[in-house]
């Protein structure tokens, strides 16, 4: 054998070894997580101050005349960062007649000027209704032991007035007990009533995404509640369960029946009906505050409750758990 042929065979051999040696990554996310189900309080702070409405001053609206719209986020006044409402009010007090405003709309930045007007008390006004935070409740879905990251809700936090995603700067999850239930009725979803313990924080909120909220869990983690994660391909129609809180801080598990599986939607992957008579008697079905409640089938975590069917609260939707787990790796 000449040298050229020998080297060619050697290169082919090395190439094949290289291919064989590359590992196959079948499961990109963690295989086990700590099961959630706890009721949590949620507080998120806006990235800037959100415009949620307008009012008139002597028949005029200076902010609207300046081109601002509901859903805009004011991020600067006269080159000073605006993070909370008090920043905005301070800017008005420190200036007279004109504000130079920088705001964001649909991920683009704009500049405008607001000509202030005085009200009947001789105080300058913008004509703006604004918001800088949202406080509510939801359900914890899981905690990843490896990263201490958690996932909750299974959908993004929306600002109710504008109907848009709430762009967050930061936030916290904290202890919250369920004090009562407003039962759902046809075309009127019910909801959990809850008490807030704002100082008893569980963790941070760093991401508000279409498939849930995420952050670092700072409390001690009970490893006794480890559960295996199921890939979406193993989910089947039929019996399953979800875990949630409907009184105080006690987690309970209720039976559901999976009717349809949809792999083409972002958050409505699992269509189910509640078959647990005890839950139907107490809530009439899925209610607000259950978002994030973990769904279990065959002893594995498969998803989280995300939505209620408005005209039939005994039915609801859930997201694949794999969609949420992928988010904590990004």
Active-site position among 46, 72, 155, 313 = 155
Active-site position among 87, 265, 276, 312 = 276
Active-site position among 46, 176, 291, 313 = 291
How far is C-alpha 157 from the chain's CA centre? 5
- Please confirm, yes or no, whether 276 is among the known catalytic residues: yes
> Is the Cα dihedral 302, 307, 308, 310 positive or negative?
negative
- 284 DSSP assignment: S
Q: Taking the CB of residue 75, how many other CB atoms lie within 10 A of it? A: 17
- Please confirm, yes or no, whether 307 is among the known catalytic residues: no
Q: How far, in Å, CA of 27 to CA of 38, rounded?
A: 27
Closest by CA position to 269, among listed 211, 327, 310, 184: 211
Q: Name the β-bridge partners of 318.
A: 270, 305
Strand pairing report for 191-204 and 300-308 = unpaired
Q: How far, in Å, CA of 256 to CA of 129, rounded?
A: 42
Catalytic residue IDs: 155, 276, 291
């Amino acid at each position: 054998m000449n040298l050229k042929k020998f080297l060619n065979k050697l290169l082919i051999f090395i190439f094949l070894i290289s291919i064989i040696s590359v590992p196959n990554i079948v499961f990109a996310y963690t295989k086990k997580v700590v099961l959630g189900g706890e009721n949590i309080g949620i507080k998120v702070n806006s990235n800037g101050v959100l415009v949620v409405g307008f009012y008139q001053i002597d028949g005029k609206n200076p902010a609207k005349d300046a081109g601002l719209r509901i859903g805009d986020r004011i991020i600067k006044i006269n080159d000073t960062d605006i993070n909370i409402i008090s920043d905005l009010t301070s800017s008005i007090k420190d200036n007279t007649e004109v504000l130079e405003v920088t705001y964001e709309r649909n991920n683009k930045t704009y500049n405008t000027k607001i000509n202030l007007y005085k009200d009947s008390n001789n105080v300058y006004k913008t004509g703006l209704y604004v918001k800088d935070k949202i406080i509510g409740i939801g359900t914890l879905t899981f905690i990843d032991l490896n990263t201490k990251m958690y996932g909750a809700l299974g959908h993004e936090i929306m600002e109710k007035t504008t109907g848009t995603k709430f762009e967050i700067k930061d936030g916290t999850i904290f202890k919250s007990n369920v004090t009562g239930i407003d039962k759902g009725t046809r075309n009127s979803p019910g909801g959990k009533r809850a008490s807030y313990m704002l100082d008893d924080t569980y963790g941070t909120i760093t991401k508000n995404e279409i498939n849930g909220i995420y952050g670092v869990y700072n409390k001690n983690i009970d490893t006794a509640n480890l559960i295996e994660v199921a890939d979406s391909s193993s989910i089947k129609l039929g019996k399953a369960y979800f875990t949630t809180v409907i009184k105080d801080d006690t987690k309970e598990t209720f039976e559901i029946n999976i009717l349809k599986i949809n792999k083409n939607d972002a958050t409505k992957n699992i269509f189910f009906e509640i078959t647990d008579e005890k839950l139907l008697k107490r809530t009439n079905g899925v209610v607000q505050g259950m978002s994030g409640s973990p769904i279990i089938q065959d002893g594995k975590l498969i998803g989280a409750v995300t939505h209620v069917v408005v005209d039939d609260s005994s039915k609801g939707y859930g997201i694949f758990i794999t969609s949420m787990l992928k988010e904590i790796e990004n």
